[in-house]
Structure 1
């Protein structure tokens, strides 16, 4: 089953940090609109497709194409958004994440953890054996860096645009570390409590979901450095089960990201979806090849899952083009 965890963090409102946060008023609709895309031909919570400030469409288009081509079962889990999607979802009763420069990011983490664990046990009990877990949370690469750094993984994280605001992210880390009186690795061994201080609700929800699954369940974390941070959290929680983080070639080609290095240090397998939109007639999609968007809404993991089910990468690309054409006509 392909499960999208939608969430929110107040950090995304920081100017110059998140591509999705360029329009603050539209920000709360981003993740719910992505959730709608998994079920419908267009978002219903808002009457437009989520785009970045440069006009590039949400990666949910590619995810939806993979779902259709691969015949993938899907589900949404709402893990801390201020607005609910119109599409069906399971709610965890979570609030959006707070700004960790000021206060603990996820004060209600125990409740989120318990409910995510219950959801995992219920789904596993229904006979599901394969779980591909994705995320949509604007600003999530910054909370990923904060969590990775606090657990002792030095490195950088990717960005949704070709210009990665790493100095801004490092500045935020310094403020958070100062508030907590820690250095890199200062929260190693604290598990969920570390994510509760510096991370976001999605990290808590996904890690708790995975830790509650039976050992014979196959788990794929669908995302880039955001899901790599979840993998690091799981290892810090002493979860030793095999894990794979499935992303796109765009993340692996990003010189500002340490995705592969993180995978080696954390001890997880990784996959890079071989997407190619260089021949697209739509500039918004062709620019994916120039470093825009890169990943999100489980794009790479959805492609992996669809290919496992017999889909062809060319068909996924063609379907993405058709979906985009229908949305823009």
Structure 2
């Protein structure tokens, strides 16, 4: 077993701020998105809710890409509960049920130390297996806002992406400014205290992935978009060398000019891979709209594609399999998509 794919699921109260996240049909439904994503990877549809998570406009979760890549290449998958409102109804490793708090009002993650230590233990146990690489994806609605806040606290002028083509940067900046005002700090003030930045502004997914990355001493691919930049920045600030790390994302994150993925990755000093998926010729509007800036990344879509490519499949074949899965979903719903 060369590579093991981990999906770390987490929630933050920040996702319920109206307009901050479209990783769910409504702000309240973002609470269920992570468990539904995890369940869909194992079943034809989620178990906790009736349908796969969609944006308010109806665009499907990027879990459909991860599932497609896995059906092609059969890589092993382990779900890790970093901190969610509910436990997924699939086999998983429990790290925490502590949800990230609204950092405008209080520290986001008082339990960060416990989460990191438990995740470290898991990472060390996984190192006992014949695994050379962990590919760690995430499902965390609101996570681009917590990531941007943490990066700013560490001194990076980063802008994170969004699952919407209209990145709510003005709203993100306002929310982050309120959080900084609560502490009486400005950007960069916590660059020498990264764990305090995590406690104040992070989310349980970040703490879990950080612990896993510290506990597992072989290669780690951080499978995600701009949220994984925050993990890389934490690792660097803690003195961890980044030569064994890579961020695997999708072309849509790299092409997002409202964010600074490539620029911030270079500033941190981590290499990147971008999956060249293409839905422009899809029969389904929900998938074609990925090319218009909807969704972009999540549930380890870029990293899952990376594993499929390493197994000999092309991004074109992954895109075709996504089309097949979406057609299956439409038949289950009795609609044409």
Classify the TM-score, shorter chain.
over 0.9
The one-character-per-residue Cα deviations of 1:87-113 (angstroms, maximum 9, x if unpaired) are 111011231100111101011111101
Equivalenced residues, count:
327
CA contact (8 A) 1:145 1:156 kept: yes
Pair 1:58–1:19, CA change in 2 (3 A): same
For residue 172 of structure 1, report the CA deviation from its aligned partner. 1.1
**Aligned counterparts of 2:170 and 2:242: Cα–Cα separation in 1:** 35
**Aligned counterparts of 1:193 and 1:220: Cα–Cα separation in 2:** 25
**Aligned counterparts of 2:24 and 2:314: Cα–Cα separation in 1:** 34
- Is 1:288 equivalent to 2:290 in the alignment? yes
Aligned 1:200-211 pairs, distance under 5 A:
200-211=203-214
CA contact (8 A) 2:35 2:48 kept: yes
Match in the other structure for 2:303:
301
Deviates more, 1:40-49 or 1:199-208: 40-49
SS of aligned partner of 1:79:
strand
CA contact (8 A) 2:21 2:27 kept: no
Match in the other structure for 2:219:
218
Match among 165, 168, 190 for residue 165 of structure 1: 168
For residue 192 of structure 1, report the CA deviation from its aligned partner. 2.4
**Aligned counterparts of 2:289 and 2:26: Cα–Cα separation in 1:** 21
SS of aligned partner of 2:266:
helix
Match in the other structure for 1:120:
123
SS of aligned partner of 1:77:
strand
The one-character-per-residue Cα deviations of 1:293-324 (angstroms, maximum 9, x if unpaired) are 01111111110111011122222111111111
CA contact (8 A) 1:191 1:237 kept: yes
- Is 1:311 equivalent to 2:313 in the alignment? yes
The one-character-per-residue Cα deviations of 1:152-204 (angstroms, maximum 9, x if unpaired) are 00121111011011000111111111111111111112122211111111111
Is there any run of 5+ residues in structure 2 with no aligned partner, and where?
Answer: 332-337
Is there any run of 5+ residues in structure 1 with no aligned partner, and where?
Answer: none
For residue 74 of structure 1, report the CA deviation from its aligned partner. 0.5
SS of aligned partner of 1:20:
coil
Match in the other structure for 1:278:
280
For residue 122 of structure 1, report the CA deviation from its aligned partner. 0.7
CA contact (8 A) 2:78 2:92 kept: yes
Match in the other structure for 1:58:
61
Q: Please report the RMSD computed on the Cα atoms of aligned residues, expressed in angstroms.
A: 1.1
Match among 316, 319, 322 for residue 320 of structure 1: 322
For residue 55 of structure 1, report the CA deviation from its aligned partner. 0.7
Moved >3 Å (runs of 4+):
none
The one-character-per-residue Cα deviations of 1:267-302 (angstroms, maximum 9, x if unpaired) are 100111100000000000010000000111111111
Pair 1:291–1:201, CA change in 2 (3 A): same
**Aligned counterparts of 2:270 and 2:59: Cα–Cα separation in 1:** 31
SS of aligned partner of 1:76:
strand
SS of aligned partner of 1:240:
coil
- Is 1:156 equivalent to 2:175 in the alignment? no
**Aligned counterparts of 1:264 and 1:31: Cα–Cα separation in 2:** 29
SS of aligned partner of 1:87:
coil
Match in the other structure for 1:111:
114
CA contact (8 A) 1:16 1:22 kept: no
- Is 1:191 equivalent to 2:199 in the alignment? no
Match among 245, 248, 253 for residue 247 of structure 2: 245
CA contact (8 A) 2:83 2:205 kept: yes
**Aligned counterparts of 1:192 and 1:324: Cα–Cα separation in 2:** 41
TM-score (norm 2): 0.95
CA contact (8 A) 1:13 1:21 kept: no
Match in the other structure for 1:181:
184
The one-character-per-residue Cα deviations of 1:230-272 (angstroms, maximum 9, x if unpaired) are 1111111111142211111101111101000111110100111
Match in the other structure for 2:88:
85
SS of aligned partner of 2:32:
helix
**Aligned counterparts of 2:30 and 2:225: Cα–Cα separation in 1:** 21
Match in the other structure for 2:334:
none
